[in-house]
Amino acid sequence: MTATALESAGGGAVLAAEETLEAFGHDPWWVTLLKAVVIFVFLMVCVLMMIMADRKVMGRMQMRHGPNRFGPWGLLQSLADGVKLSLKEDVIPRGVDRALYIAAPMIAAVPAFMTFAVIPIGPEVEIFGLVTPIQLTDLPIAGLLVLASAAMGVYGIVLGGWASQSPYALLGGLRASAQVISYEIAMALSFVAVFMYSGTLTTSGIVEAQQPVWFALILFPSFLVYLVTMVGETNRLPFDLAEGEGELVGGFMTEYGSMKFTMFFLAEYVNMVTVAAVSVTFFLGGYHAPPPVTMVWEGANEGLWPVLWWLLKFLGVMFLFIWVRGTVPRIRYDQLMLLGWKILIPVQLVWITAVAAVRMLVNEGAPASVTAGVIVAFSVLFIAALYGWGRAVKRQRAAEAAEHAEEMRRMREDPKYGGFPVPPEKAPHYGSSVPAEEPRNTPPASTGKREEVTGA
């Protein structure tokens, strides 16, 4: 891979992407349509099951049952919810910007579907005598498409909040858009190391580049940052400040009802499905069987088995969403922005530099001692930064605690500060010259008889 890349840089741009994309773009139109319909149905089923699983798993985590009435084990609950929502009154409040108000749910929902076109679900297989990859299409810029359609969803949110002409909706829309663009930067930075190692932006190429070992293992910090931004980007708990019920009622969808609300809801869940699929593609080895399985079983990557591995990884990431939601409390908006701008982005910038330096040294055949020295230098830098940050946080906490204690003391003791004049504890008791021998309100000794309960 290194050799071909060097060649292409020397002798004119033959992108590695063009070789790997041979398999795509040759399907007859009906195969393309069939694949698109299958993906769409898969997405819808995933969303319905995810909403149900969300409520059921959350229920189990909170020691209750969750929905279990409609269909076997409550499996059809979301379908019933959808039918109910479509039968609700479709209120358009007075004073809204009608065109934008109606367009916003569509703008939120439609781009959410499009990312899935470049997600590889399986390798090339032969079905009905036709060799075709289990992937709708792939682009030389598939990595950019993933980010672009994630960014398109922001328009739906901010326009929905803007067109509603309501303070809650406006604030929710602004918050959501600021949050999504902040986390999008950290997400885009977490992809840089992946593209560096795969040498391509095509999703199928990235999956192939993870054949011996997953990027989640060799690029672990990138993977961690992606997991955080994945939750932030989809406005899920603990980052669902855009619709925090406690402060903003329903956020940007306050004024929406019936099917328009459903479209926002659908877009949120489709986005969850998409980012989970992207994490499987970019970090968890795509459709390849996990290494322990391939050691035991040679045929794990043949036929349609890869689809099973893909599904298992995908469901694992989806479960992570619910798990995080059930475990972590919602954070404050300033903490959310602090995490995005002051922690994730600087960490990613340093990490990218470190990865690039080490990879360059290895590529250029530098002596192992130099490489090890650079790794040690970056580790020391990292530990020092962590230590300094820990000390700063500790100092800040101590200062805040001292300030708080001082405030409480003045509230207690200083009448001018608004506190109550409280007599000191050792002051003599007014109204009696002798201090009380025993507590005045001693309960009468029990007589052993049950007291008669009167109607009063």
Partner 1 sequence: MELYAPIFVLGGIGAVFVVVSMIVGSIAGPKRYNRAKLQAYECGIEPTPQPAGGGRFTIKYYLTAMLFIVFDIEIIFLYPWAVHFDALGLFGLIAMILFLVNVSIAYAYEWRRGGLEWN
Q: Taking CB under 8 A as the criterion, which residues in 175-214 touch partner 1?
A: 177-178, 181-182, 184-185, 188-189, 191-193, 195-196, 199-201
Q: Which of residues 231-250 bind partner 1 (CB under 8 A)?
A: 249
Q: Provide the terminal-to-terminal Cα distance of the chain, rounded to the nearest Å.
A: 89
Contacts of 215 (CB under 8 A, 6+ apart): 193, 194, 197, 198, 206, 209, 222, 223, 282, 283, 285
Q: Which residue has the tokens 């001082």?
A: 406
Indicate whether 337 belongs to the interface with partner 1 (CB under 8 A): yes
Query: Nearest distance from residue 79's CB to partner 1, in Å?
Result: 13
Q: 130 - beta bridge partners?
A: 127
Smaller CB separation from partner 1, 300 or 355: 355
Q: Contacting partner 1 (CB under 8 A), which of 14, 19, 28, 40?
A: 40
Closest approach, Cβ 224 to partner 1, in A, equals 19
* Residue 70 near partner 1 by CB under 8 A: no
Which tokens in the block code for residue 295?
């050691």
For 122, phi then psi, to 5°, come to: -160, 170
Alpha-helical segments (H) within 21-61: 29-61
Residue 324 Cβ vs partner 1, minimum distance, rounded to whole Å: 23
In the bound state with partner 1, the residue whose beta carbon lies nearer, of 75 and 249, is 249
Minimum gap (Å) between residue 320 Cβ and partner 1 = 25
The C-alpha atoms of residue 96 and residue 327 are separated, in whole angstroms, by 38
| Smallest separation (angstroms) from partner 1 to the CB of 111 | 7
- Of 6, 380, 384, 392, the one binding partner 1 (CB under 8 A) is 6
What is the smallest separation between the CB atom of 351 and partner 1, expressed in angstroms? 12
Place of tokens 């990292």: 382
Which DSSP symbol is given to 431?
Answer: T
Q: 73-112: which residues touch partner 1 (CB under 8 A)?
A: 85-95, 97, 102, 105-106, 109-112
Displacement of CA 420 from its chain's centroid (Å)? 48
| Span near partner 1 by CB under 8 A; candidates 55-63, 124-132, 291-299, 329-337 | 329-337
**Which residues between 252 and 291 bind partner 1 (CB under 8 A)?**
254-255, 258-260, 262-263
9 interacts with partner 1 by CB under 8 A: yes
Residue of 42, 337, 345 lying closest to 175 (CA atoms): 337
CA-atom Rg of the chain in angstroms: 30
Q: How many residues does the chain have?
A: 456
- The continuous run of DSSP H or E covering 345 comes out as helix 345-363
341-370 positions binding partner 1, by CB under 8 A: 341-342, 345, 349, 352-353, 356-357, 359-360, 363-364
The answer to whether the beta carbons of residues 370 and 210 sit under 8 Å apart is: no
Question: Does residue number 174 form part of the binding site for partner 1 (CB under 8 A)?
Answer: yes
Site for partner 1 in 14-33 (CB under 8 A): 21, 24-27, 32-33
Q: Which stretch binds partner 1 (CB under 8 A): 115-123, 224-232, 310-318, 394-402?
A: 115-123
Q: Which residues contact 160 (CB under 8 A, 6 or more apart)?
A: 101, 104, 105, 108, 169, 173, 252, 253, 256, 264
Does 438 bind partner 1 (CB under 8 A)? Our answer is no
Q: Which of residues 296-325 bind partner 1 (CB under 8 A)?
A: none
Query: Contact 255/94 with Cβ under 8 angstroms?
Result: no
Asked if 35 interacts with partner 1 (CB under 8 A), we say yes
